[in-house]
Structure formats: structure tokens, C-alpha cells
Amino acid sequence: MRIACLFLLIPLCISGAGRYKAEWLSVANRLVKTDPGAYEFNWGEGVQWIGLMKTYERTADKRYLDYMERWTASYIGQDPRVLLNGVREGYCGHWSPATAILFMQEARPKAEYATLVRRVVDYIANHAERSSEGALGHWQGSHQLWVDTLYMACPLLAGAGKAFSKPEYITDAARQIVVYAKHLQDERSGLFYHMWDWKTGERTPALWGRGNGWVTMSLADTLEVMEAGHPLRGKLVEIARRQAEGLARTQDADGLWHTVLDEPSSYPESSATSMMVYGLEKLARLGVLESRYRALAERAWKAVNQRYVRDGVVIGVSAGTEPRGKEYYGKLPAGSQTWGTGAYLMAGSEMER
């Protein structure tokens, strides 16, 4: 009888990643059947390509790398002033594609990839808007810290710092998180607000779900490359642990996080949940968080796959979001978006380890 019970329990021990590997790869496989020319050099696409490259890292499937190379070819040699300046001059949303191209450079080295990445990083380091504390603004003249900006900048600065032997870039990434936390991390909950204006002192009131996802992923990717003795590492660990406690308290009974974290009446949102899966699982793997946080990631990964993945398409992703009042976030439509696809692929890349 004991042996029979043991065999009955074995399936319960199979990791969530193994159960949902087919769904995870179906999203990547459907993506690479689309026209790469349909995608811009912008933040949502950047997140999508980061997710695809992390999927390549775990699978070594050449199709993913070939597809990325076709997309990247459209932008090689372009004037960086054109790439980095759209409707808003110096908009940080044009930085994240360079993170994916950095991964391309590491997987299939080409001088033109490194050149493009260096140009974007140079802009961030030397020309982007910054506050008196050195924090990056969302665009030139914005005088605002949006949590979104952290993910546009920190993984790129940290990754380039490691790849190009530029430790000052890693320090800059860490300093961004520290300054942002000073102004946006809630003392009571450990969670992050969306925006703080350094001219007016205004801070938006919502603890935005995806915004906290941007922070969690930025912490994970920055801490991954920091040396144990780095003077800012302890501060980042403290920030990560405080935020993780808040995330544990706001995960719902199904394993999801909502578009406003402390408003259960707001809808559960798949990109935020995927980001938490990636960040919490990775931070636990790195030893920053206790292993118990992997159970949160496991529950969330199961919930995302069961509710939001349909025939290789990730749904339940809220539209592009500006910092406003709490009610605004819950009224945004949800569907399929590039950033939701990318966040899901990243989550799978961690759960599949």
C-alpha cells in the first residue's frame, strides 16, 4: 500500500515547467512564423525579443536566433538618433531592443551588433535625462521616474557592463534601483508605485501590477551580474526581499496578480504575473530570496498557462499604461500584446531550468 501511494504522489512532484513546456514553446514557435518586419524598434518589441532570446538560451533552437537576426538586420547601421528619438525625444522605450541585440551578440557575435548596443548604452550613460540624484527620466524633459524605465535601462546596463568589462554600467543599473526605491517603494507594503515627479513631488497612488513586474525583473537581472562584494548589492537584496513580501501578500487564490496589486476587484493580469514568475524564480535561484518563493512562482506559472495561453497566443495582457489614478488601470482593455508575449517567454525560460 505504501508503494502504491508513493507512485500516486510522483506526478505531483513534477515541476510546473515540465508540465507546460509544450505551451511555452508553442508561443515561441508561433511568434517566429510572423513577419519580423512588422515589429518596430520599441519597448514592447524589445521585451518580446528578450523573451525569445532567453528561450533560445534554454533550447538552442536555431530558428529563434535566425528570426532575431532577420529582425535586427532592419536596424543595423541606422542613425541612433533616429532609433532613439520618436514622438518623445530620448524616450526610454527605445532602449530595451538593445538588450535583445546584446544577447544576439553573445550568441552569434558580429561587430555591428556590438556597435549598436554600445551606441544605445552610451546614450543612456551620457545623454539621457537624469535627476539631481542621477535617476533616469522617462524621456527628455519628463522630470519623472516611471518604474517602466528601470527595465528599459537596468538589464541593458548590467548586461553591457559584464559583456564589455564596464563595471561602472553595473553600478549605474544598481544605483537606478536604489534611487527609484527611495521615491517609489511603499514603506508599509514593500510594493512600488508607478511614477514620481522630481519637480512637483507628485507620486501616483496605484501599486501597479506590471510596474512591480518591471522592478522584480530589473532586480533579478542586475543582481545576477553583481559581485558579492559590490557596495550596493546589500541594498538591492533588501529592496528585493521587501518587495517579495508584498507580492506574497497580494497573490490571489488562483496564483495570479492583479493589475492593481492591492485592489482585488481589479482584473488579474497575465503580463504582471509572468514577470513575477520570472523575477521571483530567478531571485530564488540566485539565493537572494528564500526557496519558498519558488512555490509562488510555480502557482503563478500554472495559472498563466491554464488561463491565458491559447494556441500559441498569450492573452489577458493590459494595454500600454500611463501613470494615473487607481480606477484608470482597471478600465484598460486586455488582449494579446508584444510585452505580454515576451514576459511569458521569459517566465518559461526560468521555469524550464
Please report the pLDDT score of residue 2 as a whole number. 33
- Compute the average pLDDT of residues 330-346: 98
Has residue 6 been placed in a domain?
no
Please report the pLDDT score of residue 212 as a whole number. 98
Has residue 231 been placed in a domain?
yes
Number of domains in the chain: 1
Has residue 5 been placed in a domain?
no
* Separation between Cα atoms, residue 240 and residue 324, nearest integer Å: 25
Instruction: State yes or no: pLDDT of 54 exceeds 90.
Output: yes
Has residue 159 been placed in a domain?
yes
Query: b/e string for 254-277 if b means 16 or more Cβ within 10 A?
Result: ebbbbbbbbbeebbbbbbbbbbbb
Please report the pLDDT score of residue 1 as a whole number. 30
Q: How far is CA 118 from CA 88, 121, 122, in A?
A: 21, 5, 6
Phi, psi of 43 (to 5 degrees): -65, -45
Q: Select from 318, 337, 345 the least CA-distant residue to 44.
A: 337
Instruction: State yes or no: pLDDT of 101 exceeds 70.
Output: yes
Q: Is the pLDDT higher at 181 or at 82? A: 181
Q: pLDDT, tens digit, for every residue of 253-288?
A: 999 999 999 999 999 999 999 999 999 999 999 999
E-strand ranges in the chain read 144-146, 195-197, 309-310, 313-314, 317-318, 334-335
**To the nearest whole percent, how much of the chain has pLDDT over 70?**
95
- Compute the average pLDDT of residues 53-81: 94
**To the nearest whole percent, how much of the chain has pLDDT over 90?**
91
Instruction: State yes or no: pLDDT of 326 exceeds 70.
Output: yes
Q: pLDDT, tens digit, for every residue of 152-168?
A: 999 999 999 999 999 99
Domain containing residue 183: CATH number = 1.50.10.10
Has residue 299 been placed in a domain?
yes
Query: b/e string for 311-333 if b means 16 or more Cβ within 10 A?
Result: eebbebbbeebebbebebbbebe
- Compute the average pLDDT of residues 42-68: 98
User: pLDDT category, 10, cuts 50, 70, 90?
Assistant: very low
* Separation between Cα atoms, residue 212 and residue 50, nearest integer Å: 18
Spatial contact of 73 and 112, defined as CB atoms under 8 Å apart: no
Has residue 2 been placed in a domain?
no
Instruction: State yes or no: pLDDT of 351 exceeds 50.
Output: yes
Please report the pLDDT score of residue 17 as a whole number. 54
Please report the pLDDT score of residue 87 as a whole number. 76
Rounded to two decimals, the pTM is: 0.95
Please report the pLDDT score of residue 85 as a whole number. 84
User: pLDDT category, 4, cuts 50, 70, 90?
Assistant: very low
Domain limits for position 198: 15-351
Please report the pLDDT score of residue 42 as a whole number. 96
Instruction: State yes or no: pLDDT of 13 exceeds 70.
Output: no
Q: pLDDT, tens digit, for every residue of 71-95?
A: 999 999 888 778 888 778 999 999 9
* Separation between Cα atoms, residue 208 and residue 247, nearest integer Å: 12
In the chain, the amino acid numbered 77 is G
* Separation between Cα atoms, residue 241 and residue 235, nearest integer Å: 10
Please report the pLDDT score of residue 80 as a whole number. 78
Instruction: State yes or no: pLDDT of 46 exceeds 50.
Output: yes
Please report the pLDDT score of residue 288 as a whole number. 98
Please report the pLDDT score of residue 231 as a whole number. 98
Please report the pLDDT score of residue 18 as a whole number. 75
Has residue 155 been placed in a domain?
yes
User: What average pLDDT is seen over the chain?
Assistant: 94
Instruction: State yes or no: pLDDT of 7 exceeds 60.
Output: no
Has residue 41 been placed in a domain?
yes
- Compute the average pLDDT of residues 218-229: 98
Contacts of 74 (CB under 8 A, 6+ apart): 36, 37
Instruction: State yes or no: pLDDT of 8 exceeds 50.
Output: no
